[in-house]
Protein backbone atom coordinates (compact mmCIF):
# COMPACT_ATOMS: atom_id res chain seq x y z
CA UNK A 1 0.00 0.00 0.00
CA UNK A 2 1.63 3.26 -1.10
CA UNK A 3 2.00 6.26 1.18
CA UNK A 4 -0.42 8.52 -0.69
CA UNK A 5 -3.14 5.88 -0.60
CA UNK A 6 -2.64 5.26 3.12
CA UNK A 7 -2.83 8.99 3.83
CA UNK A 8 -6.02 9.32 1.77
CA UNK A 9 -7.59 6.30 3.46
CA UNK A 10 -6.65 7.57 6.92
CA UNK A 11 -8.06 11.02 6.18
CA UNK A 12 -11.27 9.44 4.90
CA UNK A 13 -11.72 7.29 8.01
CA UNK A 14 -10.99 10.22 10.34
CA UNK A 15 -13.40 12.52 8.55
CA UNK A 16 -16.10 9.85 8.71
CA UNK A 17 -15.51 9.38 12.45
CA UNK A 18 -15.58 13.12 13.11
CA UNK A 19 -18.72 13.58 11.04
CA UNK A 20 -20.38 10.70 12.83
CA UNK A 21 -19.53 12.18 16.18
CA UNK A 22 -20.70 15.64 15.24
CA UNK A 23 -24.10 14.57 13.93
CA UNK A 24 -24.82 11.58 16.18
CA UNK A 25 -27.77 12.12 18.49
CA UNK A 26 -29.70 9.97 20.93
CA UNK A 27 -32.42 8.04 19.16
CA UNK A 28 -34.68 8.10 22.24
CA UNK A 29 -36.65 11.03 23.55
CA UNK A 30 -35.52 12.00 27.09
CA UNK A 31 -38.66 10.61 28.82
CA UNK A 32 -38.31 7.29 26.96
CA UNK A 33 -34.69 7.02 28.08
CA UNK A 34 -35.49 7.71 31.75
CA UNK A 35 -38.43 5.28 31.65
CA UNK A 36 -36.20 2.57 30.19
CA UNK A 37 -33.60 3.06 32.91
CA UNK A 38 -36.20 3.23 35.71
CA UNK A 39 -38.12 0.19 34.45
CA UNK A 40 -34.97 -1.89 34.09
CA UNK A 41 -33.71 -0.97 37.55
CA UNK A 42 -37.03 -1.37 39.37
CA UNK A 43 -37.89 -4.67 37.70
CA UNK A 44 -34.58 -6.10 38.89
CA UNK A 45 -35.11 -4.73 42.40
CA UNK A 46 -38.61 -6.18 42.54
CA UNK A 47 -37.47 -9.56 41.25
CA UNK A 48 -34.84 -9.82 43.99
CA UNK A 49 -36.80 -7.96 46.68
CA UNK A 50 -36.78 -10.85 49.12
CA UNK A 51 -33.02 -11.00 49.49
CA UNK A 52 -32.08 -7.34 49.20
CA UNK A 53 -32.62 -6.38 52.84
CA UNK A 54 -30.17 -9.02 54.06
CA UNK A 55 -27.71 -8.70 51.20
CA UNK A 56 -26.56 -5.11 50.51
CA UNK A 57 -23.96 -6.42 48.06
CA UNK A 58 -26.76 -7.69 45.83
CA UNK A 59 -28.27 -4.21 45.67
CA UNK A 60 -24.95 -2.73 44.58
CA UNK A 61 -24.61 -5.33 41.83
CA UNK A 62 -28.08 -4.47 40.50
CA UNK A 63 -27.38 -0.73 40.60
CA UNK A 64 -23.99 -1.20 38.95
CA UNK A 65 -25.56 -3.21 36.12
CA UNK A 66 -28.73 -1.18 35.63
CA UNK A 67 -27.85 2.43 36.53
CA UNK A 68 -24.09 2.93 36.47
CA UNK A 69 -23.79 2.59 32.64
CA UNK A 70 -26.16 5.53 32.25
CA UNK A 71 -24.36 7.93 34.61
CA UNK A 72 -22.16 10.65 33.10
CA UNK A 73 -19.56 10.38 35.84
CA UNK A 74 -17.22 12.93 34.24
CA UNK A 75 -19.91 15.61 34.26
CA UNK A 76 -20.98 14.64 37.77
CA UNK A 77 -17.34 14.85 38.88
CA UNK A 78 -16.99 18.40 37.51
CA UNK A 79 -20.20 19.46 39.24
CA UNK A 80 -19.18 17.99 42.60
CA UNK A 81 -15.54 19.10 42.58
CA UNK A 82 -16.57 22.61 41.54
CA UNK A 83 -13.57 24.96 41.47
CA UNK A 84 -11.36 22.08 42.63
CA UNK A 85 -11.87 20.48 39.20
CA UNK A 86 -9.66 23.16 37.61
CA UNK A 87 -5.93 22.86 36.95
CA UNK A 88 -5.33 25.52 39.58
CA UNK A 89 -6.37 23.11 42.35
CA UNK A 90 -6.05 19.56 40.99
CA UNK A 91 -4.23 17.49 38.39
CA UNK A 92 -5.81 15.27 35.74
CA UNK A 93 -4.68 12.22 37.76
CA UNK A 94 -6.37 13.55 40.91
CA UNK A 95 -9.60 14.22 39.03
CA UNK A 96 -9.51 10.72 37.57
CA UNK A 97 -9.05 9.26 41.05
CA UNK A 98 -11.90 11.37 42.38
CA UNK A 99 -14.16 10.15 39.57
CA UNK A 100 -13.26 6.52 40.31
CA UNK A 101 -13.94 6.90 44.04
CA UNK A 102 -17.06 8.99 43.50
CA UNK A 103 -18.56 6.51 41.05
CA UNK A 104 -18.18 3.68 43.55
CA UNK A 105 -19.69 5.66 46.44
CA UNK A 106 -22.58 6.72 44.19
CA UNK A 107 -23.37 3.05 43.64
CA UNK A 108 -23.43 2.54 47.42
CA UNK A 109 -25.63 5.62 47.91
CA UNK A 110 -28.09 4.71 45.19
CA UNK A 111 -28.04 1.07 46.21
CA UNK A 112 -29.23 1.80 49.74
CA UNK A 113 -31.71 4.41 48.49
CA UNK A 114 -33.28 2.31 45.75
CA UNK A 115 -33.50 -0.76 48.01
CA UNK A 116 -36.13 1.17 49.98
CA UNK A 117 -38.18 1.66 46.80
CA UNK A 118 -37.75 -1.89 45.52
CA UNK A 119 -41.42 -2.70 46.01
CA UNK A 120 -42.86 0.67 45.04
CA UNK A 121 -44.29 2.16 41.86
CA UNK A 122 -43.60 5.41 40.05
CA UNK A 123 -45.27 7.73 37.57
CA UNK A 124 -43.81 9.98 34.89
CA UNK A 125 -44.53 13.69 35.01
CA UNK A 126 -45.48 15.43 31.73
CA UNK A 127 -42.33 16.36 29.84
CA UNK A 128 -41.85 19.70 28.11
CA UNK A 129 -39.12 20.00 25.53
CA UNK A 130 -37.45 23.38 26.11
CA UNK A 131 -34.65 22.79 23.63
CA UNK A 132 -32.09 22.63 26.42
CA UNK A 133 -28.94 20.60 25.84
CA UNK A 134 -29.47 19.23 29.36
CA UNK A 135 -33.16 18.25 29.46
CA UNK A 136 -34.78 17.32 32.78
CA UNK A 137 -37.21 14.44 33.23
CA UNK A 138 -39.08 14.03 36.52
CA UNK A 139 -40.68 10.91 37.95
CA UNK A 140 -42.64 10.51 41.19
CA UNK A 141 -41.87 7.51 43.35
CA UNK A 142 -44.99 6.43 45.23
CA UNK A 143 -43.86 5.47 48.73
CA UNK A 144 -46.75 4.46 51.02
CA UNK A 145 -48.97 7.18 49.61
CA UNK A 146 -46.22 9.82 49.56
CA UNK A 147 -44.96 11.08 46.21
CA UNK A 148 -41.21 11.63 46.11
CA UNK A 149 -40.16 13.57 42.99
CA UNK A 150 -36.84 12.61 41.43
CA UNK A 151 -35.59 14.72 38.52
CA UNK A 152 -32.90 13.47 36.17
CA UNK A 153 -30.82 16.06 34.31
CA UNK A 154 -29.47 14.50 31.13
CA UNK A 155 -26.48 15.06 28.88
CA UNK A 156 -26.33 14.29 25.16
CA UNK A 157 -23.38 11.91 24.77
CA UNK A 158 -23.84 11.38 21.04
CA UNK A 159 -25.36 7.93 20.74
CA UNK A 160 -27.40 8.05 23.96
CA UNK A 161 -28.44 10.19 26.89
CA UNK A 162 -26.65 9.96 30.20
CA UNK A 163 -27.57 11.24 33.66
CA UNK A 164 -25.37 14.16 34.74
CA UNK A 165 -27.20 15.23 37.91
CA UNK A 166 -30.13 14.21 40.10
CA UNK A 167 -32.59 16.28 42.12
CA UNK A 168 -34.58 14.60 44.91
CA UNK A 169 -37.56 16.41 46.45
CA UNK A 170 -36.16 19.75 45.31
CA UNK A 171 -32.64 19.04 46.55
CA UNK A 172 -29.89 19.30 43.94
CA UNK A 173 -27.62 16.37 44.82
CA UNK A 174 -24.75 17.64 42.68
CA UNK A 175 -24.73 20.95 44.56
CA UNK A 176 -25.09 19.27 47.96
CA UNK A 177 -22.26 16.86 47.17
CA UNK A 178 -20.17 19.87 46.10
CA UNK A 179 -20.74 21.47 49.50
CA UNK A 180 -19.83 18.18 51.19
CA UNK A 181 -16.62 17.91 49.17
CA UNK A 182 -15.64 21.52 49.89
CA UNK A 183 -16.13 20.78 53.60
CA UNK A 184 -13.96 17.66 53.23
CA UNK A 185 -11.18 19.71 51.59
CA UNK A 186 -11.34 22.19 54.47
CA UNK A 187 -11.22 19.44 57.10
CA UNK A 188 -8.11 18.07 55.41
CA UNK A 189 -6.31 21.40 55.44
CA UNK A 190 -6.66 21.96 51.70
CA UNK A 191 -4.87 18.70 50.85
CA UNK A 192 -6.66 17.50 47.71
CA UNK A 193 -5.27 13.96 47.82
CA UNK A 194 -6.48 13.47 51.40
CA UNK A 195 -9.84 15.06 50.60
CA UNK A 196 -10.35 12.74 47.62
CA UNK A 197 -9.40 9.69 49.69
CA UNK A 198 -11.72 10.65 52.56
CA UNK A 199 -14.71 12.02 50.65
CA UNK A 200 -17.91 10.03 51.13
CA UNK A 201 -20.92 11.70 49.49
CA UNK A 202 -24.00 11.23 51.65
CA UNK A 203 -27.24 11.40 49.68
CA UNK A 204 -29.46 10.89 52.73
CA UNK A 205 -27.79 13.77 54.59
CA UNK A 206 -28.20 15.96 51.50
CA UNK A 207 -31.92 15.21 51.16
CA UNK A 208 -32.49 15.53 54.93
CA UNK A 209 -31.39 19.18 54.72
CA UNK A 210 -34.87 20.03 53.49
CA UNK A 211 -36.51 18.63 56.61
Residues contacting residue 182 through CB under 8 Å, at least 6 positions apart: 82, 84
Per-chain mean pLDDT for the chain: 80
pLDDT at 166 over 50: yes
- Please report the pLDDT score of residue 8 as a whole number: 33
pLDDT at 157 over 60: yes
Q: Is 106 helix (H, G, I), strand (E, B) or coil?
A: helix
pLDDT at 126 over 70: yes
pLDDT in tens, 36-58: 998 888 888 888 777 777 777 78
Domain architecture of the chain: domains with CATH = 27-206 (3.10.450.710)
Distance CA 66, CA 33 (A): 13
- Please report the pLDDT score of residue 51 as a whole number: 75
Q: Is 53 helix (H, G, I), strand (E, B) or coil?
A: coil
Provide the pairing of β-strand 121-124 with 161-168: unpaired
pLDDT at 124 over 90: yes
Gyration radius from the chain CA atoms: 20
Give residue 206's pLDDT band: very low, low, confident or very high (50, 70, 90): low
Give residue 21's pLDDT band: very low, low, confident or very high (50, 70, 90): very low
Could you tell me what percent of the chain has a pLDDT over 90? 38
- Please report the pLDDT score of residue 112 as a whole number: 64
- Please report the pLDDT score of residue 13 as a whole number: 32
Asked if residues 145 and 94 have their Cβ atoms less than 8 Å apart, the reply is no
pLDDT at 93 over 70: yes
Average pLDDT value for residue range 189-206: 88
Distance CA 108, CA 191 (A): 25
Amino acid sequence: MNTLFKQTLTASILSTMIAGTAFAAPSEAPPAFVKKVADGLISRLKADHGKLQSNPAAVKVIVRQNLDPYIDSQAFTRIVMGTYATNQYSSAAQRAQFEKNFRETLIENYGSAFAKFSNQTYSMRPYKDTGSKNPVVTIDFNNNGEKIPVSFQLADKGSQWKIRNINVSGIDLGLQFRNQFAATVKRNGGNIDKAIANFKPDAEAAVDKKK
